[in-house]
């Protein structure tokens, strides 16, 4: 499930491979991915545009086009982007972007949740997102002012894209474990010390995952088809029943807002 570190990894991989290339056409096997245009209009506006640059906002991948417009992709649950040619007959390829050097970029997405936009202004899509957790100006005080306004469970607040952009189920669990905070705690009940710890662990958990090339839980792959490695350093996410790294207690899972939340019942106590 691609979250901030996975999308950042894809962005960096594609920056070295497809920036400067120009689109020659798009084949859509699942047109419902298009969020704001018909396939015909989408093709018409994309063809002959070149990729000036690639950026990321939250979990959104943003391609700056030479005409000033913006192509935006969201991988949702099961999406991945591939530059390898071996996947042309893969039944889960939903879209194929062709380039003027003969290369193809494949959008693979078994569950068909992925989304594609072509817009004049990226704010039409990413305008409501909260701040980037890895930005210089996302300080402990920023986090503090955000959390004091929310009574929902801290885990749910961390995963709310309009509050902070890019954090999902896996990295919320990892950051809360590293900060020794029970995931169902109300966000506005965290102490100053806990907020400082959480700010610190969000930074380290996300950066460590980026340095590992993202986590290949489920269908995530890098554009060259390789897996990420971040799942191997997960302490709690998808580790149900395994012994906690710090104390040996088996990792448990509880639903928060219907989402599986992994934690150590001893290191992350309800009343700390």
Partner DNA sequence: CCCGGAACCTGAAGGC
Partner DNA sequence: TGCCTTCAGGTTCCGG
Query: Segment contacting DNA (CB under 7 A): 21-29, 40-48, 70-78, 199-207?
Result: 70-78
Q: Does residue 78 belong to the site contacting DNA (CB under 7 A)?
A: yes
Q: How far is the CB of 92 from DNA (least distance, A)?
A: 7
185 catalytic? Reply is: no
Burial classification of residue 60, based on how many CB atoms lie within 10 Å of its CB (0-12 exposed, 13-18 middle, 19 or more buried): buried
Ramachandran bin of 231, using left for φ above 0, alpha for ψ from -120 to 50, beta for the remaining angles: alpha
CA nearest to 132, candidates 7, 230, 13, 4: 4
Contacts (CB under 7 A) with DNA, residues 107-146? 110-113
Q: Which of residues 81-100 bind DNA (CB under 7 A)?
A: none
242 annotated active-site = no
| Binding footprint of DNA, residue count (CB under 7 A) | 29
| 168 neighbors 39 (Cβ within 8 angstroms) | no
| CB nearer DNA, residue 44 or residue 242 | 242
The reply on whether position 151 binds DNA by CB under 7 A is yes
Query: Binding to DNA by residue 241, rule CB under 7 A?
Result: no
Residue from the set 50, 103, 152, 254 that interacts with DNA by CB under 7 A: 152
Of 212, 228, 223, nearest in space to 14 by CA: 223
Query: Can 2 be counted among the known catalytic residues?
Result: yes
Residues 163-182 that bind DNA (CB under 7 A): 168-170
Annotated catalytic residue, options 3, 8, 122, 194:
3
Residue tagged active-site, from 76, 112, 259, 266: 259
| Residues in CB range of 166: below 8 A, 6 or more apart | 3, 4, 7, 58, 59, 132, 133, 206
Residues 6+ apart with CB under 8 A from 76: 2, 109, 111, 113, 114, 115
Q: Cα–Cα distance between 9 and 221 in angstroms, integer?
A: 10
The nearest distance, CB 109 to DNA, in angstroms, is 9
Q: Where are the beta strands (DSSP E) in 60-146?
A: 60-65, 70-74, 80-82, 93-99, 104-108, 115-119
Interactions with DNA, residue window 21-60 (CB under 7 A): 32, 58-59
Nearest to 245 by CA among 253, 237, 254: 237
Name the active-site residue from 56, 59, 82, 94: 59
Identify the sign of the CA torsion 183, 187, 193, 195: positive
Q: Which is nearer to DNA, 12 or 112 (CB)?
A: 112
Q: Write down the least CB distance from residue 119 to DNA, Å.
A: 12
Alpha carbons 247 and 198: distance in angstroms, whole number: 20
Annotated catalytic residue 112? no
* Contact pattern for DNA over residues 245 through 264, marking x by CB under 7 A: ----------x-xxxx----
Residues annotated as catalytic (active site), given as ranges: 2-3, 59, 259
The footprint of DNA (CB under 7 A) covers: 1, 3, 32, 58-59, 74, 76-78, 110-113, 149-152, 156, 159, 161, 168-170, 238, 255, 257-260
């Amino acid at each position: 499930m691609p979250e901030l570190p996975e999308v950042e990894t894809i962005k960096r991989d594609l920056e070295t491979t497809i920036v400067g290339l120009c689109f020659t056409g798009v084949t859509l096997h699942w047109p419902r991915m298009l969020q704001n245009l018909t396939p015909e209009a989408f093709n018409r506006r994309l063809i002959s545009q070149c990729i000036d640059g690639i950026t990321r906002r939250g979990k959104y991948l943003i391609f700056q086009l030479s005409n000033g417009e913006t192509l935006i992709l969201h991988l949702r649950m099961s999406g991945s982007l591939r530059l390898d040619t071996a996947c042309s007959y893969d039944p889960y390829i939903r879209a194929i972007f062709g380039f003027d050097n003969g290369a193809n970029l494949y959008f693979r997405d078994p569950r068909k949740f992925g989304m594609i936009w072509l817009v004049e202004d990226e704010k039409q899509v990413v305008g409501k997102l909260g701040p980037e957790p890895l930005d210089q100006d996302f300080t402990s005080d920023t986090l503090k002012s955000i959390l004091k306004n929310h009574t929902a469970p801290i885990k749910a607040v961390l995963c709310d894209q309009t509050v902070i952009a890019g954090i999902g189920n896996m990295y919320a669990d990892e950051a809360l474990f590293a900060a020794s905070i029970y995931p169902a705690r109300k966000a506005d009940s965290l102490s100053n010390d806990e907020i400082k710890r959480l700010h610190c662990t969000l930074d380290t958990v996300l950066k460590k995952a980026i340095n590992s090339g993202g986590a290949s839980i489920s269908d995530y792959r890098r554009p060259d088809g390789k897996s990420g490695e971040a799942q191997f350093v997960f302490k709690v996410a998808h580790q149900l029943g395994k012994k906690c790294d710090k104390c040996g207690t088996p990792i448990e899972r509880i639903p928060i807002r219907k989402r599986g939340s992994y934690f150590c019942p001893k290191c992350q106590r309800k009343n700390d």
